[in-house]
Structure 1
Amino acid sequence: MHRLTKRFRPGARFNNCLFLLLFSLLLNCQQLAIGKSIIDNHVEEYRVKAAFIYNFIAFTQWSEISGPTLDLCLYGEDNFGPEIDLLQTRPVNQLSIKVTRLSDLQHLQNCHVLFISRSEAESLTSILGQSQGKNILTIADSQSAASKGVIINMHLDENKVKFEINLKSARNAGLNINARLLQLATRVYQ
């Protein structure tokens, strides 16, 4: 009986199903009942992207995180405003999220997650070179960023936020992306 209890954890299965339901709703139902897109302005777009980032963090495993915080660093123009700071009130996997805005990449080694703003798209290759070999989840919202090596890239498609994943880059960074997240991606680069 004890072995069966260890293998079958109804609570874990319920949480996984609940996540898939909520995340699928976020992905597929980003429209109001009246048919007007909720992503009709810049603020709404980045509010939804902040929610996506939280879910990306929740379904990524790092090989090692020491300390009680998971450091989310923003590099480049901050389009999120205070919206991204709200993630600091929501723990993930028993860790607090700490949001830091970087003006340069000198403190990149302190980051577990690096969001690279569109304003830095021209420097993407250089930025990725500096994060190479580090246990950092890179996220962007620039055209073709995943094909260039960013681990998760968000984009708008018919006013809905969608994302693609570069699995090879994730493996090179020592990160494990949950299979459920991979299933929801519009494209997975191997």
Structure 2
Amino acid sequence: MATPAWAQVEEAALKAAFVYNIVAFSNWNRGGSADTLVICANTRSSLDAALVDLGGRRIGQRRIAVRRNTGYAGCDVLVHAGDAKPKPADAATLIICDGCQLPDGVSAVALVREGNRIRFDVDTGSVAVAGISLSSQLLRLARQVL
């Protein structure tokens, strides 16, 4: 029976790696650059714990800080479960959904399971509204770009 739990942990770690790489290939089009990049996790799943493991890592000159279930103020990135419709306090928040179908009116990126693989879709309209640009390299890797 240990195999299903192990697979779940592996999936959560893989999704956290996707989040890290998506963020690494994102650019916030606002003036100034804070020293800290805040990822807010609100998935109510093992993905939250896997995202916490990203804390302290760096993307460029910014150190990652991860907050779990603490509201949406001050989030650069918000990772939520597919059944939630969060309203971040800052419009310049990259919203990543775990398990939703785009467009959902909220999320810019969706992590999706396709067979035994994890893929991602991008809603470029939601990305643009947030004032964020994604690299063309990242967009080429997406399963679907809307």
TM-score band (shorter)? 0.7 to 0.9
Deviation at 1:56, TM superposition (A): 0.6
Deviation at 1:87, TM superposition (A): 1.3
Q: Which moved more, 1:150-159 or 1:58-67?
A: 58-67
Between the aligned residues of both structures, percent identity stands at 28
Structure 2 gap segments, 5+ residues each: 1-5
Aligned-partner SS, 2:47: coil
Compute the RMSD of aligned alpha carbons: 2.1
Preserved contact between residue 132 and residue 173 of structure 1 (Cα < 8 Å): no
Q: Tell me the TM-score normalised to structure 1 length.
A: 0.67
Residue of structure 2 equivalent to 1:109: 73
Residue of structure 1 equivalent to 2:128: 171
4+ runs of 1 displaced by more than 4 Å? Answer: none
Distance 1:147 1:51 in 2: 23
Aligned-partner SS, 1:109: coil
Task: Name whichever structure is richer in helix by fraction.
Answer: 1
Aligned-partner SS, 2:58: coil
Structure 1 gap segments, 5+ residues each: 1-39
Distance 2:124 2:104 in 1: 12
Matched, 1:45 2:2: no
Matched, 1:98 2:98: no
Distance 1:169 1:49, change over 3 A: same
Distance 1:187 1:80 in 2: 22
Distance 1:95 1:132 in 2: 21
Q: Tell me the TM-score normalised to structure 2 length.
A: 0.86
Task: Name whichever structure is richer in strand by fraction.
Answer: 2
Count of residues in Structure 1 that have an aligned counterpart in Structure 2:
140
1:34-79 residue CA offsets vs partner (Å, 9 max, x unmatched): xxxxxx7211101100111110110000123542100000124042
